[in-house]
Amino acid sequence: MKLRSILLVLSLLAVLSAYTGGYLYYSSIKDFALKEAERQAVVRLELITKNLSSFLSENIKVVKALAGMNELLEMLIRPGTQSQRKANEILDLYKAALQVDVCYLMDYKGTTVASSNRNAPDSFVGKNFAFRPYFQEAFHKAPATYLALGVASGKRGAYYSYPIFEKGEDIPIGLVVIKGSIELIEKELSLLKEEIVLVADPHGVVFISNVSDWLYKVIWKISSEDREKIAKSRQFGSGPWEWIGMKPKEDNYTVDESGVIYQMQKSYVDSENYPGWQVIHLRSLKAISKSISDPLFKIIGPLVLTLCILVGASVFFLYRKASLEISQRKSVEKALRESEERYRSLYHNTPAMLHSIDLSGRLVSVSDYWAEALGYKRNEVIGKKLTEILTRESRRYAEQTVFPDFFKNGFCKDVSYQFIKKN
């Protein structure tokens, strides 16, 4: 195999070995990162769920205190301009202090009789919300909580309601409602850019998310019966509650309609106040891989680049050196061939009886002049002992004097032989 080919094969093997080692190292790092990302996702989900449950429950005790205000009771017992003004003042005070969207008072029929948004274009005053579960449940279970899209405002809200009783009565004469802002809750959660968090109802309708395009859509494919139930509840507007395209995979993974694979973790919000509501944490494998590769490339990138430059320079140097040696060897071989050709030309064309023998005294070559002078063909004498072609006297002289002296000193001169011609 040529030296260049050997160097090329060795270079390819070096590159292949480096690539294989790098791939195995990256694979092991990736497996570790996936497990670490899963552990971090569980911790992160627990924190988000805890904070979300806290935000969604922070007005439950407050609404009970608001329901105990005499101004609200007076408005329900003796409605009028004066009592309404005082009730509105209380509602305004709580709205400002709590930094919520709206505080409003409803009579026993579900009609709003006083509200902090009375002067807004989407005022609740005069509107009836008796169909809302937070109205119906407040008469049987206090306090009542509810997450829904506002019918009048079109804004998402967390509703907290508490019944108001006349002194000594068991049947409520109305109730007070606090509507908290979901947008404010989303900001307070401080979600990371690379994570996706969904809060969905028992049917899978997304109500809170840092991906706005997924709001009011269903995570998983649902039946037509479930779709009818969602429509009848009027909880999330008029629909159409399209499917996001998520499909569950094995081992806490899911894939969307674009083929993006996510690592998924799930937990439940406060089950007492929001039964069946889930918090889903998603993080794409691409984002996880990027979190591995970016710092890895920052650290290893310069090292790999330096190594590649060194390997490339070494290969180039060895290749140049090999090429130079090959060129020099070819030049030497060419010079040797030319020298041999000159020697052979001189050997065969010199008008002298030139011949060569081995250690046993056998002929290995004869000049053209030698063969022509004695009348032999080369194949007739090559391999024969030189003494076989000498006269008896010359043979004795060669065996006893010339050959011993030649093999001892390496040369001899002025030797006189008598050869026997062929003819």
Assign residue 364 the CATH number of its domain: 3.30.450.20
285-349 vs 3-57: helix axis angle to the nearest 10?
Answer: 170
Residue 50 in any domain: the answer is no
In DSSP terms, 105 is beta-bridged to: 114, 176
Q: What is the four-CA torsion angle of 39, 44, 49, 55, rounded to 10 degrees?
A: 170
Is residue 222 classed exposed, middle or buried when 0-12, 13-18 and 19+ CB atoms within 10 A define those classes? middle
Residue 36 in any domain: the answer is no
Q: Most confidently modeled of 18-27, 41-50, 81-90?
A: 81-90
Lowest mean pLDDT among 7-11, 58-62, 263-267, 393-397: 7-11
What percentage of residues in the chain have a pLDDT greater than 90? Answer: 40
Residue 84 in any domain: the answer is yes
Q: Choose between 139 and 232: higher pLDDT.
A: 232
Which of 185, 201, 228 is the C-terminal boundary of a domain? 185
Range of the domain at 109: 60-185
Residue 222 in any domain: the answer is no
C-alpha distances (whole Å) from 411 to each of 111, 232, 250, 358, 402 are 136, 123, 92, 13, 10
Among the residues of 279-360, which ranges form H helices? 285-349
Residue 399: per-residue pLDDT? 83
What percentage of residues in the chain have a pLDDT greater than 70? Answer: 87
Residue 15: per-residue pLDDT? 65
Check whether 326 has a pLDDT greater than 80: no
d(CA 281, CA 194): 11
Number of domains in the chain: 2
d(CA 58, CA 46): 18
Residue 129 in any domain: the answer is yes
Residue 159 in any domain: the answer is yes
Residue 361: per-residue pLDDT? 83
Beta strands in 45-195 (DSSP E): 102-107, 112-115, 144-149, 156-164, 174-181
d(CA 100, CA 113): 19
Do residues 161 and 144 make contact, with C-beta atoms less than 8 angstroms apart?
yes
φ, ψ of residue 174 in degrees (nearest 5): 170, -175
Q: Most confidently modeled of 8-22, 266-280, 332-346?
A: 266-280
Token pair 């050196």 is found at: 321
Q: Residue 67's closest CA among 162, 188, 181?
A: 162
Do residues 164 and 187 make contact, with C-beta atoms less than 8 angstroms apart?
no
Residue 422: per-residue pLDDT? 79
pLDDT tens digits, 95-125: 999 999 999 999 999 999 999 999 999 999 9
Which of 155, 185, 215 is the C-terminal boundary of a domain? 185
Which of 160, 185, 210 is the C-terminal boundary of a domain? 185
Residue 18: per-residue pLDDT? 61
Residue 135 in any domain: the answer is yes
Residue 298 in any domain: the answer is no
Tokens of 215: 């709001």
Residue 355: per-residue pLDDT? 80
Mean pLDDT of the chain: 85
